């Protein structure tokens, strides 16, 4: 198994990494779930910087400072809302990971933590999302050697088990 990728159960706002990824909405101005938790933990300066970014398209990513977070950076990406799987959701989710990882390399980030993008309020099936996440991260790591560690931070044990299973399955291929 790839030792650069780990799955943990925890709070992404508490991760001691160079960057955390925010599963944001298109406005980048905060919301519920991971997005709201990151904005609350980072403090009001994050919202002020996000206002200057003028939103973010689904599948794209933008970066801000981490402010009061242990992480120096926050990479904001907007995952797709699940609409049955026939609206390009898989590719949009894959782009979230690719674009976030490309920003990480651009900013010389060596450690990064991702949440389970789109699996909460956006309704993306966890098993499907976990396979896309792990596959995209592994493909990226095979071509880019600057990232030392990628952590998939899951809020629940169930999600964590599913992401770990995807990591184990994809590592075998």
Beta-sheet strands, E only, within the chain: 5-9, 19-24, 61-65, 73-78, 111-114, 149-154
Tell me the C-alpha distance between 76 and 67, whole Å. 14
Catalytic site residue from 11, 18, 35, 158: 35
Asked if 35 is an active-site residue, the reply is yes
Tokens of 93: 């989710």
Chain-centroid distance of CA 172 in Å reads: 23
Phi-psi region of 84 (alpha: psi -120 to 50; beta: other; left: phi over 0): left
Radius of gyration over alpha carbons of the chain, in Å? 15
Tell me the C-alpha distance between 32 and 24, whole Å. 9
Catalytic residues: 35
């Amino acid at each position: 198994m790839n030792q650069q990728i780990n799955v943990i159960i925890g709070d992404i706002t508490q991760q001691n990494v160079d960057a955390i990824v925010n599963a944001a909405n298109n406005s980048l101005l905060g919301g519920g779930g991971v997005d709201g938790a990151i904005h609350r933990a980072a403090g009001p300066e994050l919202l002020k910087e996000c206002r200057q970014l003028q939103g973010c398209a689904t599948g794209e990513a933008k970066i801000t400072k981490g402010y009061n977070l242990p992480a120096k950076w926050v990479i904001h990406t907007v995952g797709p809302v699940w609409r049955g799987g026939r609206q390009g959701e898989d590719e949009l989710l894959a782009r979230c990971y690719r674009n976030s990882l490309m920003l990480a390399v651009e900013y010389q980030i060596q450690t990064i933590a991702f949440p389970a993008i789109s699996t909460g309020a956006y309704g993306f099936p966890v098993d499907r999302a976990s396979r896309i996440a792990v596959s995209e991260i592994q493909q990226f790591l095979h071509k880019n050697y600057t990232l030392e560690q990628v952590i998939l931070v899951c809020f629940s044990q169930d999600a964590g088990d599913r992401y770990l299973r995807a990591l184990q399955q994809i590592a075998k291929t």
